[in-house]
Amino acid sequence: MDKLKTGIKNLDHILDGGIPVYSLNIVSGSPGSGKTIFVQNIIFNSARNGLKSLYLTTISESQFKMVRHLQEFEFFLDDVLGDKVIYGDLGTVLRKQGTDKGLEYLSQMIKKHRPDIVVIDSFKAIRDFFPDEKTFKAFVFELAAALSIWEVTVFLVGEYEEKELTLLSEFAIADGIFHLYGQEEKRFQKRYLRILKMRGTNFEQGEHLFKISHAGIKVYPRMKPEGIELQYEVRMKKKGFGITGLDEMLCGGLTEGSITLISGSTGTGKTAFALKFLLEGAEKGEKGLFLSFEEPVAQLQNTARNLGWEIDKYLADGRLDIKFISPIELDVDKHAFEILDMVKEKKVERLIIDSISAFESSVSDIQKYKDYLWAMGQQLKRQYVTTIFTVLNEELFSPMVVTKAQISLIADNIIFLRYVEDGSSIKKVIGILKARGSDHDKALMEYEITKNGINILGKLDKADMLR
């Protein structure tokens, strides 16, 4: 089946290659949801591929006002106007000449310009020109029949509420239905896209975030790997920390492509352990990426330098990269997708996210947070990226609390760092709670962090130090 490629980033992937040609599609949503920009982005992208579009307005924005607003977007091309993108005014014909002339005008315009794509915006507004539902329904079916004869791909744009999508007659003729809507969260105004129907092709169901910027529309597909995407070969190669004692506890290191949680309270050294893991990989020629949601890049560099580690040369030659993302601006809907994009682009083999507690604080729906972490973890494992998530444990002296949100099920390995009391002193202890596929050391080990790095000192000498 031939398909119209939208050219909108990630949308064609969701549509399994694009929209079937000669299909009739409805783009619905409330005012301000992005419907017009969505369709305009598609027709200008299509113009770049040599396709012609006929865009008919009704009583929404005038074509002159629309073009003026579109000039702000990078997808807009002034030199295709009147050639590959043609605007017409269907609304004036309906108002002045009546509904009987509407189909005649449409047919004349299609015959004159022979477009590949036809858009009517807003289609719902046409309802007001008809005396009753029965008359409008007859018009809708005549319109669908006429458009099918001309073999064009059609977009009918309208300000429909979600409850109307199963009630109104125009949805009965639709091959595809795109529903755009927004949600207000405490810090973000978000827009979402759902494909409710698409005859003749597979498509990714569910809620997909999309953003509108000067570049146009960008879609962030919902991450939910299933079927073949969950199947991958388990590799037994080990990735070490380069910390004597810890790699022995892990029987050589972390299994390649595994997900590890390093859980610990403030000051236990979660970031230092994670940095050392990346530096060990860089020394072996493996590319590493450190995504920090807590400490800026300069501070992380100073941390490594103060521990005697040569971080600057690895940053300079590209084997190591550090990115800081402010948790205040973190949008988990798009950022999990962007992380995977970055990992693929940079061919990352070792990844640190410090910390996923910042993810948790950015979402109001804790189940959504868990789903995203699980889905992202599965994608990383499929690419054999050995990943460490650091997690803040707010219980300073609790040995068994790994995460407040109970996300330890996503992890293949769990390393916990904690404090213990020894008389009037406080010591640091490391333990391996879980290491999938490995007979890991069950002992609790004391460790220290000095100007020479991280040292594992030996077994905890008194069991009653854990309270």
Give the model confidence (pLDDT) of 304-313 as tens digits: 999 999 999 9
Which has more confidence, 366 or 270?
270
The full length of the chain comes to 467
Give the model confidence (pLDDT) of 413-463 as tens digits: 999 999 988 777 888 999 999 998 888 999 999 999 999 999 999 898 765
Query: Which positions ≥6 away from 101 have C-beta within 8 Å?
Result: 93, 94
What is the pLDDT at residue 155? 97
Which residues on adjacent β-strands are paired with residue 185? none
Q: What integer is the mean pLDDT of 233-245? A: 87
The rounded distance, in Å, linking the Cα atoms of 119 and 154 is 6
Closest CA to 334 of 192, 454, 156, 124: 192
Query: Which positions ≥6 away from 398 have C-beta within 8 Å?
Result: 418
- Note the pTM of the prediction, 2 decimals: 0.76
Whole-angstrom CA distances from 266 to 332, 391, 401 are 23, 10, 14
Burial class (CB in 10 A: 0-12, 13-18, 19+), 398: middle
Which has more confidence, 201 or 23?
23
Q: What integer is the mean pLDDT of 349-371? A: 78
Residue 170 DSSP label: G
What are the structural domains, with CATH classification, of the chain? 3-220 (3.40.50.300), 228-465 (3.40.50.300)
Give the model confidence (pLDDT) of 265-280 as tens digits: 889 999 999 999 999 9
How many Å separate Cα 85 from the centre of its chain?
31
What is the pLDDT at residue 221? 85
